[in-house]
Structure 1
Amino acid sequence: MERLARPLILAALLAVPAPAAAQRLLHAGANWAAFERSGGVCEAVGRSELQALSGRVQPRAAFAFARDRSRRGELHFLFARPVRPGASAVLSVGQASFLLVTRGNSAWSRGPAQERAILAALRGASEMRVRAAGVGGAISDRYLLAGAPTAIDAAALGCA
């Protein structure tokens, strides 16, 4: 199992867009990693279960926390392609479902109450899946949650 997890961690680390000088690794384990970025933002980042083909966007999820408390678990998904204009995305975590807002090739949580509910739901789940109507067809990305709670806690503490 550890051999399988290492490529996922590496892929999550490589999927992070910020330059290495502008971030500090807080935690890496299983399928998720946590970083502190310049500007007082910490994120727990995981990539979708399926690795994108070379040259394609790797779908990923990130929970963000800010030192100024403007973000306390804001969830952001990056899709491989744009969502159809006007469409929403639905996140399923265990038995709970959450309606997310979308723009372009991204989806976000709707606010602090929803973010707290998502964080609570994922602590008891092994995976989450986000679905949306994409330009050119349906989008469905699955995320394994092994290591997510620890990475999220590390990000939250890193910007506490």
Structure 2
Amino acid sequence: MTRWPIALFGPALAALSLAGPAAARDSLGMFASWAAFRDPGVPRCYAIARPLPSSRPADYRAFASVGTWPRRQVRGQVHFRLSRKLAAEPRISLVVGDRRFALTGGGGDAWALDKGMDAAIVAAMRAAGQMSISATDARNRRFTDRYDLTGAATAMDAASVGCARR
């Protein structure tokens, strides 16, 4: 399964941080702690959120996203930018409600193992109120990024509809 690089999601973080407008991206709405965007130039659409605030140090600006690339026939692909640089063998674990998933990843990113796992994670996200992703960082310490899932289902729906209109 092809995974798309972090650069695809970087501009959405700027829009979420309100640091300035994300050029060539259409906001499809804010839904509690989640937002949805469409990038008609690619085209792609995605739901995205930041983790809950934390006082611990971070290497990266973390986020969770669910993306769709209609031309590539990719739908509902889950991607996490973690708050810390990962160890060589990071043991990445996602908990969504009462479901657990072992993810793959490297650097500061994590993904589902395949399309089936993407679908299971998205289904769990729609039913749960929170999720957390834990991994081992480059200093061999465990860390966890936590997310509120309020608005996630609506943001994912907005992203899907946004790309269906193309």
TM bin (shorter chain): 0.7 to 0.9
Matched, 1:152 2:156: yes
- Aligned residue for 1:74, secondary structure, equals strand
Matched, 1:126 2:129: yes
Give, in whole Å, the separation in 1 of the partners of 2:83 and 2:60.
Answer: 5
Q: Can you give the 5+ residue segments of structure 2 that lack an aligned partner in the other structure?
A: 1-12
Q: 2:33 matched to which residue of 1?
A: 31
Q: 2:3 matched to which residue of 1?
A: none
Deviation of residue 24 (structure 1)? 0.6
For 2:104, the aligned partner's letter is V
Aligned pairs (5 A) from 1:50-65: 50=53, 57-65=60-68
1:93-145 superposed Cα distances (whole Å, 9 cap, x missing partner): 11111111111011011221111111111111100000001112212000000
TM-score between both structures, scaled by the size of structure 1: 0.83
- Aligned residue for 1:45, secondary structure, equals strand
The alignment-based identity, stated in percent, is: 36
Match of 2:90 among 80, 87, 90: 87
TM-score between both structures, scaled by the size of structure 2: 0.80
Give, in whole Å, the separation in 2 of the partners of 1:134 and 1:55.
Answer: 10
Give, in whole Å, the separation in 1 of the partners of 2:76 and 2:55.
Answer: 26
Give, in whole Å, the separation in 1 of the partners of 2:54 and 2:73.
Answer: 32
Give, in whole Å, the separation in 1 of the partners of 2:106 and 2:50.
Answer: 19
> How many positions carry a matched residue from both structures?
150
Give, in whole Å, the separation in 2 of the partners of 1:15 and 1:132.
Answer: 28
Q: 2:9 matched to which residue of 1?
A: none
- Aligned residue for 1:22, secondary structure, equals coil
Question: CA distance change for structure 1 residues 77 and 15 in 2, over 3 Å: closer, same or farther?
Answer: farther
Q: 1:3 matched to which residue of 2?
A: none
- Aligned residue for 2:23, secondary structure, equals helix
Question: CA distance change for structure 1 residues 106 and 27 in 2, over 3 Å: closer, same or farther?
Answer: same
For 2:34, the aligned partner's letter is W
Match of 1:143 among 139, 144, 147: 147
Contact 1:79/1:106, CA 8 A, preserved across alignment: yes
Runs of 4+ in 1 over 6 A off after TM superposition: 52-55
Matched, 1:78 2:75: no
Aligned pairs (5 A) from 1:5-24: 13-14=16-17, 20-24=22-26
CA RMSD in angstroms comes to 2.6
For 1:91, the aligned partner's letter is L
Contact 1:52/1:59, CA 8 A, preserved across alignment: no
